């Protein structure tokens, strides 16, 4: 029991620490404002791009909803993946505290989970504001009373597990580099291209489309759109039912978590063997 309490306390401390570090101890309102500006602008970039090509042709709302929902929920990957993987490197290089986390009684996974979940508050605020603003301004066919919340929450829970798993493994891999600044953003940029967030993966060339179809993020994006928009959603997998897509999300999440665990364990062992946990990285 006491061990569980220690883990819980460690988790709480990690979550708080993650929030404070990611906001750099600035005022929460300022932080949230800045955090929202980026995805909101990203959504409007896509809206203008779409309007430039399609004008005000009928049926544009459905595609705009496709774009906006993808950008809105992408905040979870942006914050969860880039934030957490960068965080591991920052803990070592900038704050020089990774070695203390390793030597503390809290399991490293628990610490990283807490650190990753800290980003969730910003992501939730960002996604909500983008969706609300875009729905009102662009008259998107999103009715809050008709959203399939159980599907949305279940899909998002699985996707977040996958994102945090990938971020943990990627972050540990980054410990191999002396200077890994910007690699978190790079990783999330690659995921952005193959996730179906802003265009259907069918547009990608064959090999990339195949790789994308193994990613849980693609199925998550599909389920987000189906749960938010119902029948009005533009579908990347029209032949699959909601259940089929959820099954694919579940399987790909499990696969991702297994691979992430293997990579994490290998990178962790390598980092310990090479003495990289407390390496001076001239931050």
Partner 1 sequence: MRHPSALRIFLKTIAARAYPRVVASFRNRTWVVTETLLPLIGTIAMIYVYRALHAPVRYLGFVVLGGVLLAFWQNVIWAMATQFFWDRGAGNLELFAMAPTSLAAILLGMAFGGAYVSLTRSVAVLLVASILFGISYSTAGLLPALGIFVLTICALYCLGMLLASLFLFYQREAWQLADAMQEPIYFLSGFYFPVRSLGAVVGGVGSLIPLTLGLDAIRQLVLPGTTQFIPIRWEVLAIVVQIAGYALLSQVSLRYLERRAREDARLILRST
Of 43-82, which residues contact partner 1 (CB under 8 A)? 44-46, 48-54, 67
For residue 64, the minimal CB distance to partner 1 (Å) is 11
Dist CA 217 CA 168 (whole Å) = 16
Q: Is 102 in the site for partner 1 (CB under 8 A)?
A: no
- At residue 179, the 3 state secondary structure works out as coil
Q: Considering beta carbons, is residue 143 or 179 the nearer one to partner 1?
A: 179
Q: In this structure, how many other beta carbons lie within 10 angstroms of the beta carbon of residue 109?
A: 15
Q: In whole angstroms, how large is the CA radius of gyration of the chain?
A: 20
Residues 6+ apart with CB under 8 A from 88: 98, 112, 168, 171, 172, 174, 175
- Asked if residue 190 binds partner 1 (CB under 8 A), the reply is yes
Say how far apart CA 2 and CA 5 lie, in whole Å.
Answer: 5
Residue of 128, 132, 137, 186 interacting with partner 1 (CB under 8 A) = 186
Q: Distance between alpha carbon 271 and the CA centroid of its chain, in Å?
A: 25
Q: Which is nearer to partner 1, 10 or 87 (CB)?
A: 87
- The Cα–Cα gap between 37 and 181 comes to 23
Give the one residue of 34, 149, 157, 266 binding partner 1; rule: CB under 8 A: 34
Tokens of 204: 């990608």
Question: Which residue's entry shows tokens 């600035």?
Answer: 26
Out of 15, 17, 19, 23, point to the residue binding partner 1 (CB under 8 A). Answer: 23
Shortest spacing between CB 204 and partner 1, in angstroms: 7
| 3-state secondary structure (DSSP) of residue 27 | coil
By beta-carbon proximity to partner 1, the closer residue of 199 and 214 is 199
Burial class (CB in 10 A: 0-12, 13-18, 19+), 44: middle
Span interacting with partner 1, options 143-151, 157-165, 194-202, 214-222, rule CB under 8 A = 194-202
CA–CA distance, 261 with 280 (Å, rounded to integer): 26
* Piece of the chain touching partner 1 by CB under 8 A; list 134-142, 143-151, 175-183, 218-226: 175-183
Which of 136, 153, 177, 262 binds partner 1 (CB under 8 A)? It is: 177
Closer to partner 1 at the Cβ: 11 or 192?
192
- Interface residue with partner 1 among 2, 3, 4, 24 (CB under 8 A) is 24
Contact footprint for partner 1 (CB under 8 A):
23-27, 30-31, 33-35, 37-39, 41-42, 44-46, 48-54, 67, 94, 177-183, 185-186, 189-190, 192-193, 198-200, 203-204
């Amino acid at each position: 029991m006491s061990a569980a309490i220690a883990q819980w306390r460690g988790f709480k401390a990690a979550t708080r620490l993650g929030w404070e570090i990611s906001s750099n101890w600035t005022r929460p309102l300022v932080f949230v404002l800045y955090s929202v500006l980026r995805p909101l602008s990203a959504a409007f970039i896509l809206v203008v791009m779409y309007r430039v090509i399609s004008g005000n042709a009928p049926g544009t709302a459905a595609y705009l909803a496709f774009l906006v929902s993808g950008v809105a929920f992408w905040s979870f990957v942006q914050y969860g993946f880039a934030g957490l993987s960068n965080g591991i490197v920052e803990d070592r290089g900038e704050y020089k505290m990774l070695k203390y986390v390793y030597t503390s009684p809290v399991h490293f996974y628990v610490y990283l989970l807490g650190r990753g979940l800290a980003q969730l508050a910003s992501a939730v605020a960002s996604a909500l504001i983008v969706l609300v603003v875009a729905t009102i301004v662009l008259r998107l066919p999103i009715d809050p009373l008709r959203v399939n919340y159980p599907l949305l929450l279940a899909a998002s829970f699985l996707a977040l597990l996958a994102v945090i798993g990938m971020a943990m493994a990627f972050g540990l891999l980054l410990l191999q580099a002396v200077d890994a600044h910007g690699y978190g953003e790079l990783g999330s940029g690659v995921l952005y291209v193959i996730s179906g967030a802003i265009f259907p993966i069918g547009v990608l060339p064959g090999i990339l489309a195949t790789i994308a179809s193994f990613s849980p993020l693609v199925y998550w994006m599909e389920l987000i759109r189906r749960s938010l928009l119902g029948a009005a959603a533009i579908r990347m997998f029209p032949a699959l039912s909601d259940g089929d897509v959820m099954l694919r999300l579940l399987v790909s999440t499990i696969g991702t978590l297994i691979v992430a665990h293997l990579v994490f364990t290998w990178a962790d062992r390598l980092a310990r063997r090479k003495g990289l946990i407390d390496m001076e990285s001239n931050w």
